[in-house]
C-alpha cells in the first residue's frame, strides 16, 4: 500500500505547479512560514531554520502518514497562504511539494535543502 502511495506521489509531481527556488538569506529571514519536514534526528544533527515549524513527513524508515501530516499542516496555515518546505537535500520536498500543489496548496520548495542553506553561512538554530 505504501509503495502505491509513493508511486501516486510521483505521478502527481509530474503535473503540480509549485515554486522551486534556492532560498537566500532574505527569504530565510522573512515572515514566510517554513516547514522542516525532516526527522527529529536530522533536526538535532544539523539544527533548523529559526522559527521554522518542525513537521516530519517521512519517518526514519521512509514511511509516512499523509493524512496526519495534512491535519498538522492545516493547523499552522490559512487557506491560500504561501509557505515553504525544506528537507536535507531537496529530494523529499520535491515530492511533498508536488503532492501539496496538486491539493491546491501555495507551496515553495526549497531546492538544495538544509545542505544548501548551510553553505549560505546561515546560522541554524540548535534543537534539544
DSSP 8-class letter at 94: H
**How does pLDDT run across 57-86, given as a tens digit for each residue?**
999 999 999 999 999 999 999 999 999 999
Quote the pLDDT of residue 121. Answer: 86
Question: Domain 2-118's class?
Answer: alpha beta
Say whether 53 sits in a helix, a strand or coil: strand
pLDDT, residue 15, reads: 43
Q: Could you write out the three-class secondary structure of 7-36?
A: HHHHHHHCCCCCEEECCCHHHHCCCCEEEE
- Domain boundaries in the chain? 2-118
What is the full per-residue pLDDT of the chain (128 aa) written as tens digits? 555 555 555 554 444 468 999 999 999 999 999 999 999 999 999 999 999 999 999 999 999 999 999 999 999 999 999 999 999 999 999 999 999 999 999 999 999 999 999 999 899 999 98
pTM for this prediction: 0.85
Distances from the Cα of 60 to the Cα of 55, 57, 89, angstroms = 13, 10, 15
Amino acid at each position: 500500500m505504501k509503495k502505491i502511495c509513493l508511486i501516486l506521489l510521483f505521478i502527481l509531481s509530474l503535473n503540480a505547479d509549485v515554486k522551486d527556488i534556492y532560498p537566500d538569506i532574505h527569504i530565510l529571514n522573512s515572515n514566510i512560514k517554513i516547514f522542516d519536514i525532516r526527522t527529529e534526528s536530522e533536526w538535532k544533527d544539523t539544527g533548523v531554520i529559526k522559527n521554522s515549524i518542525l513537521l516530519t513527513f517521512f519517518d526514519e524508515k521512509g514511511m509516512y502518514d499523509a493524512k496526519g501530516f495534512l491535519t498538522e499542516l492545516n493547523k499552522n496555515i490559512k487557506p491560500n497562504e504561501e509557505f515553504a518546505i525544506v528537507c536535507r537535500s531537496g529530494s523529499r520536498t520535491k515530492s511533498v511539494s508536488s503532492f501539496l500543489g496538486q491539493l491546491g496548496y501555495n507551496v515553495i520548495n526549497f531546492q538544495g535543502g538544509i545542505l544548501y542553506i548551510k553553505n549560505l553561512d546561515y546560522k541554524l538554530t540548535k534543537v534539544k
